[in-house]
Amino acid sequence: MRKLINKLIFTICSLSTALVLAVLALILIYILANGVLAINLDFFTKLPKPVGEDGGGMVNGIVGSAIMVGLAALVSIPISIGAAIYLAEFGKGYLAVIVRFLVDVLAGVPSIVIGIFVYTIVVLPMKRFSAIAGALSLAIIMIPTIVRATEEALRLVPQTLREAALALGAPYWRVVLEIVVVSANKAIVSGVLLSVARVTGETAPLLFTALGNRFLVTVLDRPMASLPVQIYSYAVSPYDDWHRQAWAATFALVMFILLINLVVRFFIRTKE
Amino acid sequence: MLGINKEIKQMENMSTESIETKKAEDQKIAAPKIEIEAENLNFFYGEKQALYSINLKVPEKSITAFIGPSGCGKSTFLRSINRMNDIIAGVRVEGKILLNNQNIYAPSIDVVDLRRRVGMVFQKSTPFPKSIFDNVAYGIKINRLSNSRKQLEQMVEQALKQAALWNEVKDRLNESALALSGGQQQRLCIARTLAVMPEVILMDEPCSALDPIATEKIEELVVELREKYTVIIVTHNMQQASRVSDYTAFFLLGQLIEFDETEKIFTYPKEKKTEDYITGRFG
C-alpha cells in the first residue's frame, strides 16, 4: 500500500515536470519554426520599408534596444551595487530593513506602471518621447534584481576574509571594495547579465517612454525604436510580411536571451 | 569575586616577579622588556561579561601560548589585542591594554595603524581571491610601505622566505592563491602578515584545520619567528603549547588563572585548576 502511494506521488510529480517542460518546449519550437525561416541578413541590416511594401529589416530596433539597455545598465549598475553594499555591510538597523522591503516591493511593481511613472516625470516635462526616458524606465526595472543578487553574493563572502584584510591594517572601505566585492565578482556579474537579459524583452514601459521610431536614430532626446515594441506593432498590423518580420524579431530576441543565460551558466561553472 | 581577583593578582605579580628575579640573578640577561600588558581588562558582549579583570604582561620577542577549555575567553582576549572585536556590535571594554606602554584603547589611537603593528593569523586560512604575489603585496600597498616595484618584489620575496613558502611558490607567483594546499595557504597568510612588518603576531589556533605534517611546518616557522616578533598563539592542543611556547597563560571562564614560563606551568603548576586542566581532568 505504501509502495503504491510512493509510486502515485512520484508519477504525479513526473507528470507535472513533463507538463512544465512541454509548455516551454512548445513555445520554443513554435518560435523556432516560425522564426528561423523568416530571419535573414536583411533583418539585421535594413531599415523598415514604407507601409505596405515587402522586405526591409529591423536594424533600428536592434540598435535602439542596444542603446537603451546599455544606457539603463550604465545607470542602474552603480546605484544597485552601491545599495547592495550598504545593505550587506552596514545594514543592521531599522533603515536597512525598510530599504530591503522597499526594494522587494519595487521588484513587484508591474513594468507598465513604471513606464507610466517615467512618462509623468520625464516625458511630460520634456514634452516628447525619448530614448532617455526609455532607458530610465528600464534602469528602474533592473535595480531590484541586481540589488538582490549582489546583496546575496556579498553576504556569502565569509566574515573571516574581511577580518583577515582588516588585520593587515586596511581601512574598512578598501576591504569592502577591493576584497569583498572582488570575491563576489562572479555572482554579481551573473546577476547583472540576467537582469540585462530580462529587461531586453520589456515592452510596456517603452511604449510610454521611447515610443518607437521607423528610422535609425542615435540621439537620446528623441523617440527611439526597440525590438520588443517593434514586434508588438508589427504583430498587430494587417500585413503578412510584417507578421513574418515580427516572427524573425521574436526569434532573434529569444535567441539572445537564451545566449545570455548560457553564458551565465558557463561563467558560473568555471568558478574555482 | 573580588577576593579571587586579588589572589590571582598576587599570584600574577609573584610569577612575573619570580621570572624577573631569576633572570636578574643570572646577571647576564636583564629583565625581559614587556611588549603587551593588560591592566584590569574587563570585556562585555552586550550584557554578558566575557573577561574578568585580566592582568597580564607578555614579554617581547617570545612566544606565549594561551590555553584553556572552549569558551574560556582566550580568543576574545586575543582579538582584543588588535581590537578586532570592535567590528562586533555591542561590545564594551573596560580597562587598558598597553602596547609598548601605549594604551591601545585610548581615543587618540589609530586603529587601522594598530592592526598593521599587531598582525593576526586566523584558524581558517583566508587567501584573497588574487594571485600569490598580490596576496602578499596587498598589505604592503595598502600601508604604502614600498616606494618602487623592485622594492615591492623584494619585500614579497622576503616575506615568503620568512614564511618558509618561497621555494614552493617562487615559480608561480602569478597563479591564484586559491590553488594552494591548506598548509600552504596558511603559510601564505603568515607571509601576508609578516610583509607589513608588525611588532606582534597573534595566532588564533592556526593549525587546527591542518594535517600533522603541515602543522609541523607551521610550528617550526613559529619558533623561528621568535627572533624578531612577539608571538601569541591560542591553542587547544596542549602538547603544541608545551612544544612551541616560552610562556603559557591558562584561562578559565573568562579569568586568567595562571601565567608563567611554559616549563613551570607544565611541570609545577601553582594552581589546582591549572593542574586539573593540564592533566586532562576537564576540558
Burial of residue B282 (number of CB atoms within 10 Å: 0-12, 13-18, 19+): exposed
> Within chain B, which residues score under 50 in pLDDT?
1, 23-29
What whole-number distance in Å separates Cα of residue A245 and Cα of residue A231? 8
B90 Rama class: left (phi>0) / alpha (psi -120 to 50) / beta: left
Q: Do A167 and B193 touch (CB under 8 A)?
A: yes
Q: Can you tell me whether residue A73 is helix, strand or coil?
A: helix
Work out the number of other CB atoms within 10 angstroms of the CB of residue A193.
Answer: 17
Q: What is the pTM of this model?
A: 0.78
Give the model's pLDDT for residue B135. Answer: 92
- Across the A/B interface, how many CB contacts are shorter than 8 Å? 72
Residue with cell 552596514: A90
Q: Do B178 and A183 touch (CB under 8 A)?
A: no
Chain B hits for A179, Cβ within 8 Å: 128-129
pLDDT (mean) for A92-105 = 89
Q: What is the pLDDT of residues A2-15, one digit of tens each?
A: 889 999 999 999 99
Residues 6+ apart with CB under 8 A from A207: A112, A115, A229, A232
> A83 with A103: CB under 8 angstroms?
yes
Chain B hits for A93, Cβ within 8 Å: none
Of A12, A168, A128, A226, the closest CA to residue B121 belongs to A168
Give a three-class secondary structure readout of B158-185. HHHHHCCCHHHHCCCCCCEHHHCCHHHH
Q: Do A170 and B192 touch (CB under 8 A)?
A: no
What whole-number distance in Å separates Cα of residue A143 and Cα of residue A78? 10
Looking at the partner chain, which of B89, B112, B129 has a beta carbon nearest the beta carbon of A182? B129
Work out the number of other CB atoms within 10 angstroms of the CB of residue A19.
Answer: 10
> B46 with B9: CB under 8 angstroms?
no
In the predicted structure, residue A272 carries a pLDDT above the cut 50: no
> A64 with A226: CB under 8 angstroms?
yes
Give the model's pLDDT for residue B24. Answer: 46
Pairing of strands B48-59, B230-234: unpaired
Closest A-chain CA to B193: A168
Chain A hits for B178, Cβ within 8 Å: 272
Closest A-chain CA to B201: A167
Pairing of strands B200-204, B230-234: parallel
Least Cα separation, residue A165 to chain B (angstroms)? 8
- Cell representation of residue A117: 511613472
Give the model's pLDDT for residue A148. Answer: 92
What whole-number distance in Å separates Cα of residue B170 and Cα of residue A218? 52
Interface probe for A, chosen from B79, B109, B112, B197 (most Cβ of A below 10 Å), is: B112
Pairing of strands B118-121, B200-204: parallel
Of A198, A167, A264, the closest CA to residue B126 belongs to A167
Give the model's pLDDT for residue B12. Answer: 55
CB-based contact (8 Å) between B138 and chain A? yes
What whole-number distance in Å separates Cα of residue B45 and Cα of residue B126? 25
- Cell representation of residue A129: 518621447
Mean predicted lDDT score pLDDT of chain A: 89
Residue with more model confidence, A271 or A249: A249
Closest B-chain CA to A162: B126
Alpha helices in chain A (DSSP H): 2-38, 41-45, 59-85, 94-108, 111-118, 124-126, 131-155, 159-166, 172-174, 181-183, 185-200, 204-209, 227-235, 240-269
Chain A hits for B139, Cβ within 8 Å: 168-170
Q: Do B126 and A171 touch (CB under 8 A)?
A: no
Q: Do B128 and A160 touch (CB under 8 A)?
A: no
Q: Do B192 and A171 touch (CB under 8 A)?
A: no
Give the model's pLDDT for residue B4. Answer: 56
> A121 with A130: CB under 8 angstroms?
no
Burial of residue A41 (number of CB atoms within 10 Å: 0-12, 13-18, 19+): exposed
Q: Do A168 and B115 touch (CB under 8 A)?
A: yes
Q: What is the pLDDT of residues A40-98, one digit of tens each?
A: 777 787 788 777 777 777 888 888 899 999 999 999 999 999 999 999 888 778 888 89
Closest A-chain CA to B142: A170
Give the model's pLDDT for residue A221. Answer: 86
What whole-number distance in Å separates Cα of residue B59 and Cα of residue A197? 62
Closest A-chain CA to B114: A169
Least Cα separation, residue B116 to chain A (angstroms)? 4
Chain A residues 167-196 within an 8 A CB cutoff of chain B: 167-171, 174, 178-179, 182-183, 185
Work out the number of other CB atoms within 10 angstroms of the CB of residue B169.
Answer: 20
Residue A119 DSSP one-character state: I
- Cell representation of residue B142: 595598502
What whole-number distance in Å separates Cα of residue B121 and Cα of residue A169? 13
Burial of residue A24 (number of CB atoms within 10 Å: 0-12, 13-18, 19+): exposed
Residues 6+ apart with CB under 8 A from B174: B131, B132, B133
Closest B-chain CA to A182: B129
Q: What is the pLDDT of residues A182-221, one digit of tens each?
A: 889 888 998 999 999 989 989 999 988 988 888 888 888 8
Give the model's pLDDT for residue A60. Answer: 85
Looking at the partner chain, which of B123, B138, B176 has a beta carbon nearest the beta carbon of A168? B138
Q: Do A169 and B82 touch (CB under 8 A)?
A: no
What ipTM was predicted for this assembly?
Answer: 0.80
Give Rg (Cα) of chain A: 23
The amino acid occupying position A210 is A
Burial of residue A228 (number of CB atoms within 10 Å: 0-12, 13-18, 19+): buried
Interface probe for A, chosen from B91, B111, B126 (most Cβ of A below 10 Å), is: B126
Say how many residues make up chain B.
283
Chain B hits for A165, Cβ within 8 Å: 128, 138
